[in-house]
């Protein structure tokens, strides 16, 4: 009877799990998961067959985190993302990705189950994320990796939309005329 209760109440071993929004943190960047339309989960199998679920605030964090893990190419590894329109969990490998989204870590990809003009495949989305990471190193360094050497600065990240707007507002309010 006790075994039956443990099986009934435990992790099913496959698929996404419920998220404690605004409480659980991203495995990579340690930000709290609060965006219910752009989060991700990765389920990795242990050698003994049990699985563990890792949470991410953005698909980009999940893909960068997975990049140096042995589980990256393991077909048993599950990757789940939120549908950017409904918040439902969908399989990341079969999802289609709409670029130019506003996402927590500015990787800019919103997942959806159906193809649409301009969407990217999973592999194209992965390439997009890794190119952004190589070009800008958006976080200024990995929390689980080495820091820049003394006197060395991380690559400059792209300015966020709010920063661009603030700079534009400052130019127009400082007496510059718009003709």
Per-residue model confidence (pLDDT) at position 139: 54
Task: Report the alpha-carbon distance of residue 25 to residue 23 in Å, rounded.
Answer: 7
* For the chain, domain boundaries: 9-173
Phi, psi dihedral angles at 10 (to 5 degrees)? -85, 180
Per-residue model confidence (pLDDT) at position 56: 97
Side-chain half-sphere of 64: how many Cα atoms within 13 Å? 27
How does strand 78-82 pair with strand 51-56? unpaired
pLDDT digits (tens, 9 = 90+) for 106-145: 999 999 999 999 999 999 999 999 999 988 874 555 544 4
Work out the mean pLDDT of the chain and round it to a whole number: 81
Nearest Cα to Cα of residue 105 among 137, 82, 135, 81: 137
How does strand 40-45 pair with strand 51-56? antiparallel
Per-residue model confidence (pLDDT) at position 179: 40
Residues of the chain with pLDDT under 70: 1-12, 138-179
Per-residue model confidence (pLDDT) at position 48: 86
Residue at token pair 């990995």: 142
Per-residue model confidence (pLDDT) at position 47: 84
Per-residue model confidence (pLDDT) at position 176: 47
Q: What is the CA radius of gyration of the chain?
A: 19
Per-residue model confidence (pLDDT) at position 73: 87
Q: Which residues contact 109 (CB under 8 A, 6 or more apart)?
A: 38, 59, 60, 97, 98, 99, 101, 103, 120, 125, 128, 129
Instruction: Classify 76 as helix, strand or coil.
Output: coil
Per-residue model confidence (pLDDT) at position 46: 86
Per-residue model confidence (pLDDT) at position 151: 57
Per-residue model confidence (pLDDT) at position 152: 57
Per-residue model confidence (pLDDT) at position 143: 47
Nearest Cα to Cα of residue 51 among 81, 13, 78: 13
């Amino acid at each position: 009877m006790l075994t039956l209760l443990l099986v009934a109440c435990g992790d099913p071993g496959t698929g996404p799990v419920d998220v404690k929004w605004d409480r659980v943190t991203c495995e990579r960047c340690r930000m709290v998961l609060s965006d219910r339309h752009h989060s991700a989960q990765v389920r990795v199998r242990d050698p003994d067959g049990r699985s563990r679920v890792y949470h991410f605030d953005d698909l980009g964090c999940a893909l960068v985190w997975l990049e140096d893990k042995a589980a990256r190419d393991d077909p048993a590894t599950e990757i789940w993302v939120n549908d950017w329109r409904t918040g439902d969990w969908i399989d990341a490998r079969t999802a289609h990705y709409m670029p130019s989204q506003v996402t927590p870590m500015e990787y800019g990809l919103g997942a959806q189950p159906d193809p649409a003009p301009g969407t990217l495949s999973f592999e194209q989305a992965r390439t997009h994320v890794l190119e952004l990471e190589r070009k800008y190193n958006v976080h200024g360094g990995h929390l689980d990796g080495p820091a820049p050497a003394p006197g060395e600065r991380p690559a400059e990240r792209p300015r966020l939309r709010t920063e661009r707007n603030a700079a534009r507002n400052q130019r127009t309010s400082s007496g510059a005329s718009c003709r």
